Amino acid sequence: MSPFMPTLRLHDRYVLHERIGLGGMSEVWRADDDVLGRPVAIKVLAGQLAADPQLRATIQREARAAARLTHPHVTQVYDYAEATLTGGVVVPYLVMELVDGHNLADRLRTGPLPWPEAVRVAGQIAAALAAAHRIGVVHRDVKPGNVMLTDTGAKVLDFGIA
């Protein structure tokens, strides 16, 4: 069971509202940044993984790498911190751009994209990955579930574990 819940406040700044994603290594929450007055996504390292200091150091290094990446088709990383929860459990988390849309995996379940849209989306994903590679960041988990389709185009997610 997750130690996170709605209304939890991290570092007197980020207020969690609802969990919007759950995976084997992490969970993602919709939250508000009370300092800057904007919605954000908070990605939290899950369970026992958070207890490993080496893994936390690796996540921090990876967050630094992902934060250097600025591209219109890549989700921005805004912050990295570690929260000490009840019982002294230390949990690292990333604060990222909250992307509104639906993921490519869900879209593909309804059938293939029309070819002009497929070409446009593939080009946007390729441009995002090329920008990452130029600064030495490799995604390592490119899949339809890590691509969001938005009103402004595709966004590659999850560079936090790159």
* 152 is a domain residue: yes
Position 65 scores a pLDDT of 81
For residue 29, what are the domain limits?
A: 9-161
Exactly one of 33, 100, 141, 151 is catalytic; name it: 141
* 4 is a domain residue: no
* 80 is a domain residue: yes
Supply the CATH number for residue 33's domain: 1.10.510.10
Position 109 scores a pLDDT of 97
* 53 is a domain residue: yes
Task: Determine whether 141 is an active site residue.
Answer: yes
Do the Cβ atoms of 81 and 11 come closer than 8 Å? yes
Residue 162 has pLDDT above 50, yes or no: no
Distance of CA 99 to the CA centre of its chain: 9
Q: Which residues, 6+ apart, have CB-to-CB distance to 119 below 8 Å?
A: none
Residue with tokens 């911190």: 81
User: How many domains in the chain?
Assistant: 1
pLDDT tens digit string along 7-59? 999 999 999 999 998 877 788 999 999 999 999 999 988 767 777 778 888 77
Residue 122 is which amino acid? A
* 2 is a domain residue: no
Structure tokens at 89: 């459990």
* 82 is a domain residue: yes
Q: What gap in Å lies between CA 94 and CA 78, rounded to an integer?
A: 8
Q: What gap in Å lies between CA 93 and CA 81, rounded to an integer?
A: 6
Do the Cβ atoms of 102 and 146 come closer than 8 Å? no
* 76 is a domain residue: yes
